[in-house]
């Protein structure tokens, strides 16, 4: 079951690896125009990305958001990848060297939407980062101390998406509602960030308010609903959704997610004990993998280890008997397919 980012058109391609839980978004530049579907669906290309953002606003998804695409070599199993249409570096057009194309307004909104979605779905921090392994919005290339822009050798060495587009990441983070940005009717705010907040307010339900239209407009109804939410949560009441209000809103939604306890379990290995291990054992039993079923005693012993190894073998992921975020996500998928209620684990 593919994990598709809302508003993106899903066009699955053959080029991809196994499942993972991305810690952030990697921004790439196509260095060309048009959909990448044909190229990424060609095994000979040896390339793919999870997402694509067209200059005119097109949004395509080629690889499930919890499967590794082939965009950034060593970083493939760490970051979701998004290719933006057009040229991020100087390029020749009819014998004339053209300057890099900055991301269009529509592309900025598309990338901001994907980043925001990852923030809400996987807990990505809303920030620019140039440190591989750190959550946030990263690039193939990075600004060097001498003012240049270089490609990471272990990510394929391309100075992608170019300095111009890389520098636009701050604006993307801002549009995604990143730290320090307040959403209100008086300041220019990303339509998508406001839409996301309206949907979240509807999800938690503000007492005394009818559901908001999720239209991205920060009008009187949204201002009143934000004030009502702030009042209910004992926050300073001003109708402006600043970092604190947005953080409380997200935390409330996360705590109501039935999978919250599952998704926030620590890495579990043989010898561990406690309620997380018990939850894992119940989950493994529901997948039908352990035969005989495990005794859910909260003790990660040899039988649990064998069950984890067997599941990892079946799912074609790295087999180590350790339950990290990737294996947890996989088990969650299997349980979802089986219709298991996470609260019963
Ligand atoms: Zn790249």
pLDDT along the chain (345 residues), means of 10: 92 94 96 94 94 96 96 92 94 83 94 93 88 90 78 89 90 80 66 81 87 90 94 91 82 77 89 94 91 94 95 86 88 83 84
Q: How far is the CA of 328 from the centre of ligand 1 (A)?
A: 28
Q: How far is the CA of 251 from the centre of ligand 1 (A)?
A: 32
Q: How far is the CA of 22 from the centre of ligand 1 (A)?
A: 16
Residues 294 and 249 placed together within one structural domain of the fold: no
**Has residue 167 been placed in a domain?**
yes
Q: By the 8 A CB rule, do 216 and 195 touch?
A: yes
Q: How far apart are the first and last CA of the chain?
A: 21
Residues 162 and 80 placed together within one structural domain of the fold: yes
**Has residue 184 been placed in a domain?**
no
Nearest alpha-carbon partner for 311 in 332, 296, 342 = 332
Q: How far is the CA of 125 from the centre of ligand 1 (A)?
A: 20
State which of 256, 289, 309 marks the end of a domain.
256
Helix (H, G, I), strand (E, B) or coil at 33: coil
Q: Residue 207: which domain range?
A: 191-256
Per-residue pLDDT, 341:
84
Q: How far is the CA of 209 from the centre of ligand 1 (A)?
A: 45
Q: How far is the CA of 325 from the centre of ligand 1 (A)?
A: 25
State which of 148, 175, 202 marks the end of a domain.
175
Q: How far is the CA of 119 from the centre of ligand 1 (A)?
A: 21
Residue 324: CB partners within 8 Å, gap ≥ 6? 267
Number of domains the chain contains = 3
Residues 252 and 308 placed together within one structural domain of the fold: no
Residue 341: CB partners within 8 Å, gap ≥ 6? 258
Distance CA 168, CA 231 (A): 36
Q: By the 8 A CB rule, do 113 and 7 touch?
A: yes
Residues 83 and 201 placed together within one structural domain of the fold: no
Q: How far is the CA of 139 from the centre of ligand 1 (A)?
A: 7
Q: How far is the CA of 5 from the centre of ligand 1 (A)?
A: 20
Q: How far is the CA of 323 from the centre of ligand 1 (A)?
A: 30
Q: Which two tokens stand for residue 282?
A: 């119940």
Long-range contacts of residues 33-39, Cβ cutoff 8 Å, at least 24 apart: 33/85, 33/86, 34/85, 35/11, 35/60, 36/60, 36/62, 36/83, 37/11, 37/13, 37/62
Q: How far is the CA of 114 from the centre of ligand 1 (A)?
A: 17
Q: Give me the CATH number covering residue 278.
A: 1.10.101.10
Residues 224 and 121 placed together within one structural domain of the fold: no
Nearest alpha-carbon partner for 25 in 116, 88, 99, 97 = 116
Q: How far is the CA of 54 from the centre of ligand 1 (A)?
A: 16
Residues 214 and 319 placed together within one structural domain of the fold: no
Residues 91 and 107 placed together within one structural domain of the fold: yes
Residues 69 and 128 placed together within one structural domain of the fold: yes
**Has residue 21 been placed in a domain?**
yes
Residues 150 and 18 placed together within one structural domain of the fold: yes
Per-residue pLDDT, 84:
97
Residues 223 and 267 placed together within one structural domain of the fold: no
Per-residue pLDDT, 170:
85
**Has residue 146 been placed in a domain?**
yes
**Has residue 102 been placed in a domain?**
yes
Distance CA 199, CA 208 (A): 16
Rg (CA), the chain: 22
**Has residue 160 been placed in a domain?**
yes
Q: How far is the CA of 71 from the centre of ligand 1 (A)?
A: 6
Distance CA 191, CA 106 (A): 11
Residue 192: CB partners within 8 Å, gap ≥ 6? 109, 112, 113, 116, 175, 176, 216
Q: Give me the CATH number covering residue 18.
A: 3.40.80.10
Q: How far is the CA of 86 from the centre of ligand 1 (A)?
A: 13
Distance CA 345, CA 330 (A): 16
State which of 150, 175, 200 marks the end of a domain.
175
Q: How far is the CA of 27 from the centre of ligand 1 (A)?
A: 7
How many other CB atoms are found less than 10 A from the CB of residue 66?
Answer: 22
Per-residue pLDDT, 87:
94
Q: Which two tokens stand for residue 278?
A: 């018990």
Per-residue pLDDT, 181:
58
Q: How far is the CA of 228 from the centre of ligand 1 (A)?
A: 44
Residues 13 and 159 placed together within one structural domain of the fold: yes
Q: How far is the CA of 149 from the centre of ligand 1 (A)?
A: 12
**Has residue 185 been placed in a domain?**
no
Residues 212 and 292 placed together within one structural domain of the fold: no
**Has residue 292 been placed in a domain?**
yes
């Amino acid at each position: 079951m593919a994990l598709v980012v809302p508003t993106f058109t899903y066009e699955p391609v053959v080029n991809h690896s196994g499942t993972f839980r991305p810690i952030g978004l990697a921004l790439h530049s196509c260095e060309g125009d048009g959909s990448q579907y044909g190229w990424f669906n060609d095994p000979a290309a040896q390339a793919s990305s999870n997402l694509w953002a067209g200059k005119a606003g097109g949004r395509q998804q080629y690889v499930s958001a919890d499967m590794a695409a082939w965009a950034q070599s060593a970083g493939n199993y760490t970051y979701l990848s998004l290719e933006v249409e057009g040229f991020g570096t100087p390029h020749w057009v009819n014998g004339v060297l053209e300057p890099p194309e900055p991301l269009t307004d529509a592309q900025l909104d598309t990338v901001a939407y994907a980043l925001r979605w990852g923030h809400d779905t996987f807990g990505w921090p809303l920030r620019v980062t140039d440190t591989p392994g750190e959550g946030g919005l990263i690039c193939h290339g990075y600004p060097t101390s001498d003012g240049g822009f270089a490609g990471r050798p272990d990510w394929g060495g391309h100075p992608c998406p170019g300095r111009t587009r890389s520098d636009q990441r701050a604006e993307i983070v801002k549009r995604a509602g990143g730290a320090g940005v307040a959403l209100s009717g008086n300041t220019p705010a990303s339509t998508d960030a406001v839409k996301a907040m309206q949907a979240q307010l509807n999800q938690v339900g503000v007492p005394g308010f009818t559901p908001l239209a999720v239209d991205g407009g920060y009008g009187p109804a949204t201002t009143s609903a934000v004030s009502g939410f702030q009042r209910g949560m004992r926050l300073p009441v001003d109708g402006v959704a600043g970092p604190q209000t947005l953080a409380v809103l997200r935390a409330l939604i996360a705590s109501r997610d039935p999978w919250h306890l599952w998704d926030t379990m620590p890495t579990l290995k043989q010898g561990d004990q406690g309620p997380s291990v018990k939850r894992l054992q119940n989950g493994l039993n529901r997948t039908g993998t352990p035969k005989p079923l495990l005794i859910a005693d909260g003790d990660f012993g040899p039988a649990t280890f064998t069950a984890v190894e067997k599941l990892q073998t079946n799912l074609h992921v790295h087999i180590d008997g350790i339950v990290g975020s990737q294996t947890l996500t996989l088990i969650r998928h299997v349980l979802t397919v089986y219709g298991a209620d996470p609260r019963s684990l």
